[in-house]
Chains A and B, each alone.
Chain A
Amino acid sequence: GNSVTQMEGPVTLSEEAFLTINCTYTATGYPSLFWYVQYPGEGLQLLLKATKADDKGSNKGFEATYRKETTSFHLEKGSVQVSDSAVYFCALSEGGGATNKLIFGTGTLLAVQP
C-alpha cells in the first residue's frame, strides 16, 4: 500500500542554519504531496503542497519539490528561526486528491536553538 517515510528526528539546528528534512514515498498512481507542521499543543497546519511531478511548493521560506524519479519530497529552508521549532509531517493523498485521504509519515521534530 501507499506509505511515507521521513527522516527520524530530532533535528537540532542553530538559528540561521540550513534545513533539510528528507521524505520519500511509495504510491500507485499520481498522489499529491504535502508538508504539515504541528506547533506544540496545536493541531496540524498545512505548510505547502505539490500536486504533480516537478511542482515546487513553497511557503514561509520553506520549499519542497515533487520528484517522481526519486519518489521524494524533501523539505528545505535556507535559514531557520527559533519560531520554526515544531514537528513536520510529510503526507500523500490517495485517490489523486479526490478523497482527500492523507497518509502521514511519522513526523520529524525540529528544534532550533538561538
Chain B
Amino acid sequence: DAGVIQSPRHEVTEMGQEVTLRCKPISGHDYLFWYRQTMMRGLELLIYFNNNVPIDDSGMPEDRFSAKMPNASFSTLKIQPSEPRDSAVYFCASSMVGELFFGEGSRLTVL
C-alpha cells in the first residue's frame, strides 16, 4: 500500500490567496484526520471524518478554514483567504481501528 498521500508537499503563497491541500487516505480506512503542526502549538487536531462525514470540527481555527471529503479516497483542506499565521505543516492521517497512519505533510508558507 502506498500509504497516506498528501499534496502539495510544499506550498508558498501570498497573504489573501486561496490554498487547497489534498489527501488520499489508505484504502479501506474509515477515519480521516487533519492535523496542523507548529513550533508554538505543537500538533493540533483540526477536523476528522468517519465514513466521509465530518464528526468533529471544533479544532478548525476560524471560518477561513474548511474541509471536505467527497468520497472515501479523497479529502481537501481549504484556507481562504490565507494569512501568515497559517504557516505550518498540515498532516493528514487515516485509520481503521487503533493506529493512525500519517502522510508526510504539506508545508505551507504564507508570505
Inter-chain contact B104/A104, CB cutoff 8 Å: no
Q: Flag if A46 contacts B100 (CB, 8 Å).
A: yes
A99 within 8 A of B: yes
Cβ contacts B50-91/A at 8 Å (1 or 0 each): 100001100000000000000000000000000000000001
Cβ–Cβ < 8 Å partners of B95 in chain A: 100
- The answer to whether B43 touches A49, judged by C-beta atoms less than 8 angstroms apart, is no
Kindly state the separation between the CA atoms of A36 and B91 in the bound complex, as whole angstroms.
Answer: 14
Question: In the docked arrangement, what's the CA distance between A99 and B91, Å?
Answer: 18
Which of B4, B55, B99 has the most chain A CB atoms closer than 10 A to its own CB? Answer: B99
Q: Interface centre among B42, B55, B91, B103, by most A CB within 10 Å?
A: B42
Determine if A68 is an interface residue (Cβ-Cβ < 8 Å). Answer: no
> Which bracket fits the contact residues of A?
20 to 34
Task: Establish whether residues A107 and B43, one from each chain, have CB atoms under 8 Å apart when the complex forms.
Answer: yes
CB closest chain-A residue, reference B9: A41
- Count B-side interface residues using an 8 Å CB cutoff: 21
Q: Are A89 and B43 in contact (CB under 8 A)?
A: yes
Q: Which of A91-114 contact B (CB under 8 A)?
A: 97, 99-107
Decide if A45 is an interface residue (CB 8 Å cutoff): yes
Chain A residues positioned under 8 Å from B93 (CB to CB): 43-44
- Verify if B98 is at the interface (C-beta below 8 Å from A): yes
In the complex, whether A42 has a CB less than 8 A from a CB of chain B is: yes
Given A42-B104, A106-B42, A107-B42, are A100 and B98 also a contact pair (CB < 8 Å)? Answer: yes
CA of A46 to CA of B98 in the docked complex: distance in angstroms? 10
> Judging by beta carbons under 8 Å apart, are A46 and B104 in contact?
no
A50 to chain B minimum Cβ distance, whole angstroms, is: 11
Residues of A within 8 A of B (CB): 32, 36, 41-46, 49, 89, 97, 99-107
10 interchain pairs (CB within 8 A)? A36-B100, A41-B104, A43-B104, A44-B93, A44-B102, A45-B102, A46-B99, A97-B97, A99-B48, A100-B100
